[in-house]
Structure formats: structure tokens, C-alpha cells
Amino acid sequence: MDGTTLGMFMRHLALDVEWGDLDFLVVDLPPGTGEAQKVLVSTLVITGALLVVTPQELAHLDARKAIAMFRRMNVPIIGAVENMSWVACASCGERIALFPAVAMERSIWNEVERLVSLPLIPALATVQSGAIADADADATFDRLAARVSPTP
Ligand SMILES: [Zn+2]
């Protein structure tokens, strides 16, 4: 989809779908500050933006552009999730970093709060029931949910 088509699709999604009574509407956007992001932000009242980055320079560069755009458009930034921070060794559980660390001055961590770091969990790729057979990951997702949802 080119930018214009994606923009039209986002407008359609935001305005023409009967969403009913929702607690949350989570829209997973591709990286960048393109038409999809601009249309969504200018069409809906956004409660907050949650960024997801992998520990890679390019991901942080994209996220910094997104942060600048959200700030320009007065969208509150909830924080950020670091995804694929490590993978646990199947034998001993040691955490193995998948990428070299991003230098602090080029990372987003001096601008937004890191809410949680998530490992790469190979088993997730094969999950079909929605259940995660990983107690640590389960607890981390619970912690993240508590951070991004208003208290009842
Ligand atoms: Zn090991």
C-alpha cells in the first residue's frame, strides 16, 4: 500500500467502523512518521502512544522521529517497550544479548521511560492458543499492562 492508500484506509478504520463500547483501541502502526500515523493522530483523540523498539540504532532512529511527531501533535507518550532485548539460553537460562547496545545519546532512553524489556521467546512463534508458557514473560506482560492501562 502506498502512503495515500494507507492514509485512506486509516481514515476509514477510524471513522467508519462501528467500534462499539471499547475499553481500548490499540492500533499497531508500522515504524515511521508517514501518512498512516498522521491520519490517525489527526482523526482520533489519542490517549497515548506506546513505542516499541528493538535494541538497534535504526529502530531508535525511527522511534526518535515518531517521538518528535507525537510531541508536535500533542499526543502524550506513555513510554516505550524494548522488544527482543535478549534470548535466554535453552540450557542454562543465561541472557544473551541479540544486538550490540545502542549508545545512550542515540537512543530514546534519555527521552522516554523504558516500561519493560522483553526477551525474544522462540516458543511465542508457535503459540496458537494465546497462552504463553513462560512465567517470566507472563509477569512482564502483566507489568506492562498495569503501566499502560488506567487503574479501574
Ligand atoms: Zn547456556
pLDDT value for 151: 59
Q: What is the Å distance from ligand 1's center to 135 Cα?
A: 19
What pTM value is reported for the model? 0.81
Q: What is the Å distance from ligand 1's center to 98 Cα?
A: 14
Collapse the DSSP code of 66 into the 3-class scheme (helix H, G, I; strand E, B; otherwise coil) and give the result. helix
d(CA 49, CA 80): 9
| Neighbouring C-alpha atoms within 13 Å toward the C-beta of 30 | 10
Domain membership flag for residue 125: no
Q: What is the Å distance from ligand 1's center to 97 Cα?
A: 13
d(CA 86, CA 76): 28
Domain at 69, CATH number: 3.40.50.300
d(CA 23, CA 10): 20
Does the structure show a pLDDT above 90 at 152?
A: no
**Residue 134's CB: how many other CB atoms inside 10 A?**
16
Q: Which domain holds residue 78?
A: 3-120+130-148
Q: How does pLDDT run across 26-70, given as a tens digit for each residue?
A: 888 877 777 778 888 888 888 899 999 999 999 999 999 999 999
